[in-house]
Structure 1
């Protein structure tokens, strides 16, 4: 039976929210002359909103004194700011500013070699997700990935299940054949609502989130010289690594 491993991007492939998206948003705001500079604390709260454009709109709704549109169309001003932010973000990725999280490249390679389909499902912009994935897993394994489902490809973003329902449909898999890797409560809720088993690897901004339906919660996926720690769920790890055998055990 073919299995599928579907990974979120931000906080899973790399700690992109802290080291990438937040940095890129603030650089874009400064470059475009917008009077906004988000702190890490502010951004952590905004992460409850799925999607970068939606995040910015939520902030503007709470700060009517910020005139992003300057008399023009607000949606267009948000799109322009988000486009420039995405360009800066890709530049950061290509400069190597966002190293992969422990165990991601290893697990993707193992899953592909074991005959699993591997895909990414994210609310971030398609170009940004592809850049991170290519950087983290390398060109050879990137070429073997079955799909990247990202951005505005679905109408409702996480915690809605739409992106995961789309992914498993395009991959031709049933929910019983899929394991998701997420890092946030919103992402884990999306996976749960899609009926999918999910492993959570907590990241900088999600250590206080709750994951009541997760099959397994770990600090990271683990490397031979950097063991993973099980924070919740069954200890199915061999050699302190989240590997293909562990994923198979969770599906059983």
Structure 2
């Protein structure tokens, strides 16, 4: 019987530096109406807890928990962009720019600028904040309500271009994602994806890259399903309510400071897996920080580790 090794290390593993660390000429704070992020309910301290036995692979290949004393999460909630797939720089950004070009708007978002804009949750909100700051294109309507329709049209076109990239599988899953999803589903842990991105784009990622069998078992909460987006906790509150689970028994996997703030404001445990754009963000309130989930032999954590974090919440 093979045993997956469990590491309880809280060491943050930093990924390679992104293409540029230079700050954009347009500051992030100037784009964000309320830039102060929500405070965490838990401080992410490493508290002592009773050892938890690792997850074992049976001879049949199914992954099961080896100890009945292990308290598994009720739900495992994943962010999408940057967690399931590192989509932002070479996926969403490219699709936004192709849309701007096709509409002849004279707008291009470079790598650094897009990194700053990512601090705003939601593509429609991102474009609106940008145009409010630098000025609206000449082809944009003057009326505020008509501008909302204009932005919605841009975002729909951008989503269609992005889905082509996903369907062609030009953007792969991040290491360890499929493994952790399989461990959760096999052990009866509910799995959901909670994202500010368009629901069609998120569904395409889940279906195309995780496969239809997994996709049937994964609930998706995305886009405008809630009125307020991350760092507001609304999407995680909705997920817990819909799935019928206690937020304190949910483990969230996020990659950004706004996602972390949303998860903690919802009263959930949160593991951060840094992505290309978020490597230098402040994750002080995270329960654990890694560069990725990872597959053996370079696995960073597994379902048993997620369970151990829930135990630590209640041990002084």
Residues 157-180 of structure 1: per-residue CA shift (max 9 Å, x gap): 000000000000001000221000
1:218 is the counterpart of 2:290: yes
Residue in 2 that maps onto 1:235: none
Distance 1:68 1:206, change over 3 A: farther
Residue in 2 that maps onto 1:96: 169
CA apart distance, 1:74: 1.2
The partner residue of 1:166 within 238, 246, 254 is: 238
Residues 168-223 of structure 1: per-residue CA shift (max 9 Å, x gap): 00010002210000000000000010010000000010011111221110000011
1:131 is the counterpart of 2:219: no
Residues 116-168 of structure 1: per-residue CA shift (max 9 Å, x gap): 000000111000001111122111111121x1000001111000000000000
Residue in 1 that maps onto 2:275: 203
TM norm structure 1: 0.91
Residue in 2 that maps onto 1:5: 76
Tell me, in whole angstroms, the C-alpha distance in 1 between the residues paired with 2:194 and 2:96.
22
Distance 1:40 1:114, change over 3 A: same
Tell me, in whole angstroms, the C-alpha distance in 2 between the residues paired with 1:91 and 1:251.
39
CA apart distance, 1:63: 1.1
Residue in 1 that maps onto 2:114: 43
The partner residue of 2:222 within 139, 150, 153 is: 150
Q: Which runs of 5+ in 2 are unaligned?
A: 1-70, 312-316
RMSD: 1.3
8 Å Cα contact 2:290-2:300 kept in structure 1:
no
1:244 is the counterpart of 2:303: yes
Residues 14-63 of structure 1: per-residue CA shift (max 9 Å, x gap): 00111210010011111111111100101000001100000000100111
CA apart distance, 1:68: 4.6
CA apart distance, 1:64: 1.2
Residue in 1 that maps onto 2:23: none
Tell me, in whole angstroms, the C-alpha distance in 1 between the residues paired with 2:164 and 2:91.
10
Residue in 2 that maps onto 1:176: 248
Residue in 1 that maps onto 2:105: 34
Tell me, in whole angstroms, the C-alpha distance in 2 between the residues paired with 1:182 and 1:220.
10
Residue in 2 that maps onto 1:232: none
The partner residue of 1:188 within 260, 265, 276 is: 260
Q: Which runs of 5+ in 1 are unaligned?
A: 228-239
TM norm structure 2: 0.73
Tell me, in whole angstroms, the C-alpha distance in 1 between the residues paired with 2:193 and 2:177.
12
Number of positions where the alignment pairs a residue of Structure 1 with one of Structure 2: 238
**Secondary structure class of the residue paired with 2:289:** strand
Tell me, in whole angstroms, the C-alpha distance in 1 between the residues paired with 2:205 and 2:270.
21
Question: Which one has a bigger Cα radius of gyration?
Answer: 2
8 Å Cα contact 1:105-1:136 kept in structure 2:
no
The partner residue of 1:106 within 170, 174, 179 is: 179
